[in-house]
Structure 1
Amino acid sequence: MNEVVAALQALPLLWVLVAAGAVAGALLCALFMNYRLATARARAAGLEDLLAERDRLQEQEQHRHEQLQMQYRELDTQKDELAAQLAAARSDVAHARQQNEQHSDRLTQFEAQVRELEAARNTLEKQHISLQADYAYKTQSLEAMRAQFDASREQLSTEFRNLATRIFEEKEQTFSRNSRQSIEGLLQPLREQIDRFQTRVNEVHDQSLQGHSMLRSQIGQLMDMGMKMTHDAQALARALKGDKKALGNWGEMQLESALEAAGLHKGAHFDTQVLFRSEDGRANYPDFIVFLPDGKNIVLDSKVSLVSYEQAVNANEETARQGFWTRICGRCARILTSWRPRTIPRWPA
C-alpha cells in the first residue's frame, strides 16, 4: 500500500491538473444538461396541464351539450303537445266560435306559450351552434399545441443525444491519451507487490503444512478418546442388563435427575428411600416422596425395562421392533395391574 501511495505521489502535477479539468468539464456539461432537462420537463408539465384543461373543458362541454339536447327534446315534445292542443282549440273555435268565446283567454295563453317555446328553442339552437363552434376551435388549438409539444420533445431529445455523444467522444479521446501513460507508471509498483505477495504465499503454505501435521495428531487423539468412551458405555450397558440392583439404582438416578431438572430440590420438595410403616407394621421404602401443599404427598416408584428398550432401539426389522415395544407396554400394564392401594401414613410437609 505504501508503494502505491509513493507511486501516486510521484505522478506529475500536470496529469492531476488535466484530470481536474476533465472532471470540471464533465460537471459543467452535466449542469448544462440538467438545466436543459429541467426546462424540457417544465415545458412538458405546462403542456400536460393544458391537455388536462382541454379534457376538463371537453367533459364540461359534452355535459352541457347533453343537457341542451335533453332540454331541446323536452321543449320540442312540449311544442308538439301544445301545437296539438292549439290545433284542437282552433278547431273547436272554428266549429263553435260563439260557444267558445269564454275560451279566448285560454287560446291566447296557449299561443303565448307556443311563442315562448319557439323563442326558447331558437335560443337553444343558437347556443348549441355556438358551443359546437367553440368546441371545434378549442379542439383545433389543443391539437396544434400537442403537435408543437411533440415537435419540441423530439427536438430536445435529438439535441440531448447529440450533446451526450459529442461529450463522450471528447472525453474518451482525452482519457485514452492520458491513461496509456498513467497505467504504465502504475503497473511497475504493482508488479513488485505481486512478486512479494507470491513469496509470502509460499511461506504461508509451508507453515500450513506443519499445522496440518499437528492437527492430524490431535484428531487421532480425539478418535482414541471416542473409542474409549464407546467401550465404557457398552460396559455400563452390559452391567445394567446383568445386575437388577444396579439397574434399579440407575433408574432412580434418572428419576431424581428429572425431578431436579423440573426445579425441585432434594430435602425441600422431595426425599428418597424414606422409611415408614403401614398399619400392619410392614416397613416401606418408597423410591421418592414429593411434598405437596396442605400436607399432601405423592409417592413415586422407579421401574426400568432397559433390556427390552435396548432391543427395541437396536432392532433391524420393524416387526421385531414392534414386538419389543409391545413387551415393554405389557410389563408396564402388569406393574399397574398388580399395584394395590397401600395405606400410607400422612407424611409431615
Structure 2
Amino acid sequence: MELMVALVVGVLVGAGLVFVLLRSGFQRSESAADAAQDELQALRAECSSVREALARTEAQYDAELKAAAEKLALLEEAKANLQDSFKALSSEALSKNNESFLNLAKTTLEKYQEGAKSDLAKRQEAINKTVEPVGEALKVFNERVAKIEQRRTETDASLQQQLKHLAESQVQLSRTTGSLVQALRAPQVRGQWGEMQLRRTVEMAGMINYCDFEEQASVETDEGQRQRPDMLIRLPNERVVVVDSKVPLAAYLDALQSEDPDHQKERMVAHARHIREHIKGLSAKSYWTQFDNAPEFVVLFIPNETIFSAALEQDPQLIELGVLNKVILATPTTLIALLKAIAYGWQQEAVAREAKEIAALGKELYERIGVVAGHFAKVGKSLGQSVDHYNKAVNSVESRLLVTAKKFEALDSASADALPEVKGIEKLPALPKEVAPVDE
C-alpha cells in the first residue's frame, strides 16, 4: 500500500515537475502557452478529484486494516488466555487435551486468518478499482503533456527559424545601410542623389521635362564665368524660377553614427552651420541676375525632411536667414506645394490664352460675317435696280412697242402667233436687316 501511495505521489510530483518545465518553455510562445494553460487547468481539476478519491480509499483501507489487526490481537490474546488456562490444569489433563485444544485454536485462528485474507483481497480489489481511474487519468495526462511538448517543440523550431531569418535580414539591412551611408559620404554621389530626388519631386507635381522645367541649364555671368543651376522651372509670361539642390549629409551622418551625446550635439551644430554656408554661397551666385524674367530669389532644395528639421532644431533662424539672402529653403513637401501653385498658374495661363484666341476668332468671324452681309446687301440693291430697270423696259415695251405690234396683228399681216404678254416684276429681293454695305 505504501509503495502504491509513493507511486501515486511520485507521479503527481513528476507531473508537477513536468508542468514546471513545460511552463518555462511555454512562455516562448504566447498562443501555445494559452492552450497549454487551459489543458493543465483541466488536468489539475482531474488530479484533484483523483487525489480526493484516493485519500478516501486510503482512509477506508487504513480503517479496515486496523480492524483486522484488532481482530488478530484479540485472537492472540484469546490464545494466550487459553494457554494460561491449560497450564492451570493438571499436566495429565493438559497433555491429553492440549493437542485437541491447540488444534481447535489453530483451526479457529486459520478461519479468522482466511477471513481476514479474503477481506484483505476484496479490499485490495476495491482499492485497485478505485486507483485504476487514477492510472487512466495519468495516462491521458501523459499523452496530453506529450502532445503539448510536441507542439511546443514545433513552435520553438518555427520561432527559431523566424528569428534566424530576422537576424539574417537585420544583418543584410545593416550591411546595405552601411554601404548606403558610405556611398552618401562621397560628394558626387550626394549630388546625384539630390538631383534625382529633385527630378522625382517635380515629376510628382505633374511637370514635364523640356516643357515645364529644364535641367542643368547653363548661363554665363558678366565676368565670363559659367554657372549651371540644377533646374529651371518655367512660369507663365516667360518667367523662370532657379532651383539648386544641396545635400549636406557628412556632419548629419556622423551624428547618427556617434554614441556620445556631446559628439552628436557638436556634429548636429556643424550640420546646421553647413546649411547656413550653402545659403550664403547660393545667394552670392545671384542667379536672378543671370536669367531674364527671373524673380529675385532662388530655391535651395534639400531632398529630405529629416535633414532639414534636424538643422532647424539647432538653428531656428535658417529660414529667416534664407529670406534675407533671397534664398527659399524647400523640402520635397514644400517644393511640391510650390510646383502645384506654378502648375495652377500654367493652367490659368493656358485658359487665358485660349480665351484670348477665342475672342480673336470671334472678332474675325464677326468681321467676316459683316463683309458677307455687305455683299448680300449690294447684291440685293443691284437686284432691285435691275428689277426697276426691267419694269421700266416692260412699261416702255407695252406703251410704245407693243401698241404698234398689236396694230400689225389687227391687220393680219404678221405672223399667226400671238405676241407674248410682258409683265413687270412685283417681288423684290429681301435685304438683311441693320446691315450696311461694306466697301471692299
Q: TM-score, normalised to structure 1's length?
A: 0.36
1 or 2 for the larger relative contact order (CA 8 Å, sep ≥6)?
A: 1
Q: TM-score, normalised to structure 2's length?
A: 0.29
